[in-house]
Amino acid sequence: MARGPATEEQELPAYPIRAYQLIPDPNQPTVVALAIETDQGHSLFLATREILEDLGKDLLERAAKMPARADTTSDESSKAGNVD
């Protein structure tokens, strides 16, 4: 599950993700920038390999618990500019 310091629970606004992009930095090969776009703008996060692996696993586990999509074709518009 998510790692990090324990914090007090607080209610935060939530916005639908419109697009995301993974941006590698050749000068910092141990991190990648994760850009997330919402209607409120962009947010940028730095992630290590460990965080990306944990996040990927958690996302797949959560997705498996959700109802299947009605449209089974790939929706590439939600992954604007995804870079490996």
Q: What is the pLDDT of residue 53?
A: 97
Closest to 33 measured CA to CA, from 21, 49, 16:
21
How does pLDDT run across 6-28, given as a tens digit for each residue? Answer: 667 889 899 999 999 999 999 99
Statement: the pTM of the whole predicted model exceeds 0.75: no
| Per-residue model confidence (pLDDT) at position 14 | 93
Each domain of the chain, given as residue ranges in start order, spans 19-62
The owner of tokens 């419109």 is 18
